[in-house]
Amino acid sequence: MAARKAIGDPRRWCGEPIQPMTLGNMRQSGVRGLVATCCACSHNTEVDVNAWPDDVSVRSFGLHMRCTMCGHLGATAIPNWKERADTMPGGARYRASAPYR
């Protein structure tokens, strides 16, 4: 009987290991802050990370955050993509550029 062929390692992309998103990557995408969601009660809040250097991973913030509602240590931290929504079509800060004028 032949061994099952592995479909792929979800931790890799095209053979390259997937690197966690850093604050530097996030800022290059036009996002300056995080949204943290408590793992216990789902309370969420926006977090200003401007004081942190570019090489800090986004994921590392969640491990050290304490919820202000229930006191639980540990949250999910993701880039605050809503910040960028304003610059997308339909957003208040959207500026059409060629060829879409």
Distance CA 90, CA 5 (A): 46
Min dist CB 34 to Zn ion, Å, is 16
DSSP alpha helix (H) spans, 1-101: 23-28, 58-64, 82-85
The first and second tokens of residue 69, run together, are: 């509602």
Min dist CB 61 to Zn ion, Å, is 15
Query: Closer to Zn ion at the Cβ: 18 or 40?
Result: 40
Give me the 4-43 binding string for Zn ion, x by CB under 5 A, dash otherwise.
Answer: ----------------------------------x-xx-x
Distance CA 22, CA 9 (A): 22
Asked if 73 touches Zn ion (CB under 5 A), the answer is: no
By three-state DSSP, how is residue 70 classified? coil
Point out which residues bind Zn ion (CB under 5 A).
38, 40-41, 43, 67, 69-70, 72
